[in-house]
Structure 1
Amino acid sequence: MSKAHSDLDPLRWKALIFIALAQLMVVVDGTIVNIALPSAQEDLGISDGNRQWVITAYALAFGGLLLFGGRVADLWGRRRAFIIGLIGFAAASALGGAATNEAMLYASRALQGVFGALAAPASLSLLTVLFTDAKERAKAFGIYGAIAGAGAAVGLLLGGTLTEYMDWRWTFFVNIPFAAVAAAGAVAVIREPESARNRSTLDMPGVVLASLGLVALVYGFSRAEQEDWTEGVTISMFVASVVLLGAFAVVESRVKSPLLPLRVVTDRNRGGAYLALGLAIIAMFGLFLFLTYYLQAVRDYSPVMAGVAFLPMVVGMITGSTQIGTRLVTRVPPRYLMAPGFLVAALGMLLLTQLSLDSSYWGIVMPAQLLLGLGMGTAFMPAMGVATEGVKPTDAGVASAMVNVSQQVGGAIGVALLNTIAAGATTSYLTAHAAGVTSQQDQLRLQLESMVHGYTEAIWWAFAIVVLSAVVSFVLINSKGHQGGPAAAGSGDGDGDAALSDGQPVPVMAH
């Protein structure tokens, strides 16, 4: 055995099982509660005006604290942050499942977000420091990418099943065994390299500015969806986020131990990966929403059947990530997987622009989902690798947190922007075709036609956004490949990037 391979953690593949399980729990939680929300609202007497706080409380805490959580993992140790995050997430889930009023439910969701913001960056950065061999890392990221991509669809299926056959409270309680197994496994098998620990101090001004700036940004988009883009509070939130994040960038360029070293995001490859992932998530989150509405409100699928209907996307994600992406990422530069992957996903969206009241599931929805899954799975896997490549091990947590930030902000933008487009198109269609419609049956049909028209108009925008993601991937990501042995995550220079003879950063995932 070569010295390079003898240095590898012998328990790394067992560690991957528990890291993947924790990631699945966090991603599933992003959609599982959405399915249960109507039942919880009725049970706890939550008003229509307040119900969005079940979603918003989680999004604000999770999105606002991700950079802090990533840096804490670097400073305290990723294994410790991972275990604390899991235990806290389980406790918050128990509180939510036992909620007797809306305040308890909101508190539990906010606490889930807090501990999720600790566990999620820790899980990805653990992969980064445990898997230092290029081919092994490709396989590990393939599995992780498949879970990150397919988890939302799994959440819809699990949420529908639990809500329909058990009780909405089980959409919270189900997290407890996930977290318990993952935490116990982490204690038993995860051994974080001591050299990966960051011994610097915590940048508190950066923590405050980043957290408040991200909260303002996520809340601004959430409020835009609920109220209006030109409403006073919405605009003030966007202005506040620009001011706070601008101040954060200034502070980070001047402090000795920044929360987010600017080199992490200004590197062309990593910055391109964050942008491409964020754009893709904008499109995907909106699409999940519209397909769920279409299947349940228009086609009258039960929650369970709607969840089952998403399974082709899950299969496509797993195949694209673990079979196509993993097999090719060590042979071709990442952008030659990411750009074609996003274009294949865009073809799936193009197919969904043809939805009508009577569209065939097998003729349009199923093949579109397979294309979406294959494309996104193929693209996400190398994108996550590029997003964390070349950083020093001591910065792995915060680089991983930026992956989650791009996804969280992308999700908030996607839901708000595409919902607004769909609502506007629905209203316009209804107004234009309302004349002469008198019977109740015709009025109902017109309402459904208007909804589907709104969805397809928004999906056209999602299609364009995914095409833009493909362009960003091809233009900005210029990793040329790594030949030979282990590609240590921390083989970088003082700027966090290893150097090739032509000055390009060394990727850790591509040959």
Structure 2
Amino acid sequence: MASDSPVATRLLLVVVLTVQFTVALDMSVVNVALPDIRDDLGFGAEGLPWVVNAYALTFGGLMMLGGRLGDLVGRRRTLLAGLTVFGLAGLAGGFASSPGALMAARAVQGVGAAALAPVAFALITVNFPAGPARSKALGLWGATAAAGGAFGVLIGGLLTESVGWQAVMLINVPIVAFALIVARRLTPDRPAAGGARRLDPGGALLVTAGATTLVLGVVRAERQGWTSMMTIGTLVVAVVLLAAFVLVELRVPAPLLRMGLLAHRPVVGANLFMMLLFSGQFAAFYFTSLYLQQVLGYGPAAAGAAFVPFSLGIVVGSVVATRTVARLGLGRLLALGGALVAVGFGWFGLTFEVDGTFLRSILGPSLVASIGAGLCFVPLGTAATSGVAAHEAGMAGGLINSSRQIGGSIGLAGLVTLAASVTGPEGGGSRRELVHGYAVALEAAGGLSVIAALAALVLVRAADAGTG
């Protein structure tokens, strides 16, 4: 897409980082506004997480199709289409007047994001050579996600408090307009050479339906119980759909996900790590937002400001990772990052108290967990594309981003269910019970990060020789 000239490379990087910022912003900007959205539109306790999940599930479920579409029809064209859908859906969400309308807008916005994230990731891996140049670009990619998260929680709180929650849905519209203007200046690219030249919409439908049904089953377990026929039936349907997806991918000539890609241990390790890491991180943002507002009594703006140290820590961790990945290796750096995230989440569980304060309950664990998360972006990006051909860069980008979104959605649903099992219906009417439920969920999130760190040591070491 871009030529070898410095100007073209910088222009490409501006587009990629703007897309990454926008997608990260949209994930975080909504969290602080959740209580106001619930009160204004009448969401129930079970429905509120779907403001996040409606976006995350279409995002994660269709991302492999979005990445493959970029490989086959051109990444610039896919990028422009994704930006257009994303912006229009954000506009619709800002004018939503019912829970159903908002969730529909969020789901469509996830469709646009599913075209954006894997294509942006593929553009880095294809246009920046392996080594310091790619590590620097991946470090900026991770730091930009943190900047989007920081700006999202801060501006989300300010807009919710001063204008209304609708403004958090509209904030992406001018950013998307800027990205469209810049992206149109990119040199039109040719579809990547190699591989079969067909799409796999059937595979995309199966993986999206399977993931959605799986999360629905986990969410229903909160009310129905894990042993109820409704819960068991929903989970069985999810397993059947996902198994059908695997069978389809093994048989079609142009699969959405070529199963041979999973023969690379670093690729498997990176995706497993990403899924486990974000299973905890999505939930950490969700529960910390509720803790700040429902327990400590923060307004939306103050709650947004309380998230800034977390996002700044990710920037610090990304910078450190860029400078140390060649020396430490992918597996060890991922294990170190996962261990720090686990310590931070566990610390949250210990310091969440009814009479907590920002300094005692939030600042320390936020910094530890976020620096750990920041350490992971560079090695994750490198391991996820280890041994992957250029014509499958979008496929690899779709897979790693799908792991993040689907893992985050399932983790959020599961940990919300865990917290509810501790607090009882609607938090049992007690702030102390609410805090206990939040703490237990965050400690469980820390446990997931421990498993991620161990998986990195076992599976990702095979790619360490290629990091220099």
TM-score by length of structure 1 reads 0.84
State the secondary structure of the residue aligned to 2:245.
helix
Aligned mates of 1:410, 1:315 — CA distance in 2: 23
| RMSD between superposed Cα atoms in Å | 2.7
Preserved CA contact (<8 Å) 1:15 1:190: no
Q: Residues 205 and 350 from structure 1, CA distance in 2 versus in 1: closer, same or farther, beyond 3 angstroms?
A: closer
Aligned mates of 2:36, 2:194 — CA distance in 1: 45
Q: Residues 233 and 121 from structure 1, CA distance in 2 versus in 1: closer, same or farther, beyond 3 angstroms?
A: farther
1:499 aligned residue: none
State the secondary structure of the residue aligned to 1:353.
helix
Which amino acid counterpart does residue 137 of structure 1 have in structure 2?
R
The 5 A counterparts of 1:420-459 are: 420-427=417-424, 447-459=430-442
Q: Residues 157 and 198 from structure 1, CA distance in 2 versus in 1: closer, same or farther, beyond 3 angstroms?
A: farther
Larger radius of gyration: 1
1:182 aligned residue: 179
Match of 1:326 among 322, 327, 332: 322
2:333 aligned residue: 337
Q: Given the alignment of the two structures, is residue 75 of structure 1 paired with residue 72 of structure 2, yes or no?
A: yes
State the secondary structure of the residue aligned to 2:255.
coil
Q: Given the alignment of the two structures, is residue 251 of structure 1 paired with residue 234 of structure 2, yes or no?
A: no
Which amino acid counterpart does residue 142 of structure 2 have in structure 1?
G
Preserved CA contact (<8 Å) 1:296 1:306: yes
Q: Given the alignment of the two structures, is residue 278 of structure 1 paired with residue 261 of structure 2, yes or no?
A: no
Q: Residues 78 and 453 from structure 1, CA distance in 2 versus in 1: closer, same or farther, beyond 3 angstroms?
A: same
The 5 A counterparts of 1:404-419 are: 404-419=401-416
Preserved CA contact (<8 Å) 1:61 1:110: yes
1:25 aligned residue: 22
Greater shift after overlay, 360-369 or 170-179?
360-369
Preserved CA contact (<8 Å) 1:149 1:380: no
Aligned mates of 1:111, 1:410 — CA distance in 2: 20
State the secondary structure of the residue aligned to 2:461.
coil
Aligned mates of 2:119, 2:131 — CA distance in 1: 20
Shift of 1:259: 1.4
State the secondary structure of the residue aligned to 1:423.
helix
Preserved CA contact (<8 Å) 2:423 2:433: yes
Shift of 1:466: 0.9
1:461 aligned residue: 444
Aligned mates of 1:52, 1:293 — CA distance in 2: 12
**Bigger proportion of residues as helix:** 2
Preserved CA contact (<8 Å) 2:217 2:235: yes
Output one character per residue of 1:88-125: Cα deviation in whole Å (capped at 9) or x when no partner. Answer: 11111112223345554333222111111111211111
Aligned mates of 1:347, 1:107 — CA distance in 2: 37
Output one character per residue of 1:109-153: Cα deviation in whole Å (capped at 9) or x when no partner. Answer: 221111111112111111111112421110110111223355445
Q: Residues 126 and 225 from structure 1, CA distance in 2 versus in 1: closer, same or farther, beyond 3 angstroms?
A: farther
1:346 aligned residue: 342
Output one character per residue of 1:194-243: Cα deviation in whole Å (capped at 9) or x when no partner. Answer: 64576611234433333332332343334445654444444333212211
Aligned mates of 1:173, 1:106 — CA distance in 2: 15
The 5 A counterparts of 1:209-220 are: 209-220=206-217
Greater shift after overlay, 404-413 or 153-162?
153-162
Aligned mates of 1:104, 1:420 — CA distance in 2: 25
Which amino acid counterpart does residue 185 of structure 2 have in structure 1?
A
Output one character per residue of 1:440-492: Cα deviation in whole Å (capped at 9) or x when no partner. Answer: xxxx8xx222222222222221222111111111111123545xxxxxxxxxx
Aligned mates of 1:225, 1:128 — CA distance in 2: 41
5+ residue gaps in structure 1? 1-5, 432-443, 483-506
Q: Given the alignment of the two structures, is residue 291 of structure 1 paired with residue 274 of structure 2, yes or no?
A: no
State the secondary structure of the residue aligned to 1:260.
coil
Which amino acid counterpart does residue 159 of structure 1 have in structure 2?
G
Shift of 1:377: 0.2
TM-score by length of structure 2 reads 0.91
Q: Residues 282 and 480 from structure 1, CA distance in 2 versus in 1: closer, same or farther, beyond 3 angstroms?
A: closer
2:154 aligned residue: 157
The 5 A counterparts of 1:90-129 are: 90-129=87-126
> How many pairs align?
465
1:401 aligned residue: 398
Shift of 1:256: 2.3
State the secondary structure of the residue aligned to 2:83.
helix
Output one character per residue of 1:354-378: Cα deviation in whole Å (capped at 9) or x when no partner. Answer: 2222334224421111111111100
Aligned mates of 1:225, 1:401 — CA distance in 2: 31
The 5 A counterparts of 1:230-249 are: 230-249=227-246
Which amino acid counterpart does residue 135 of structure 1 have in structure 2?
P
Preserved CA contact (<8 Å) 2:49 2:413: no
Preserved CA contact (<8 Å) 1:269 1:387: yes
Which amino acid counterpart does residue 329 of structure 1 have in structure 2?
V
5+ residue gaps in structure 2? none
Preserved CA contact (<8 Å) 1:277 1:380: no
Which amino acid counterpart does residue 437 of structure 2 have in structure 1?
G
Which amino acid counterpart does residue 272 of structure 2 have in structure 1?
L
Output one character per residue of 1:405-431: Cα deviation in whole Å (capped at 9) or x when no partner. Answer: 111121122212222222223349x99
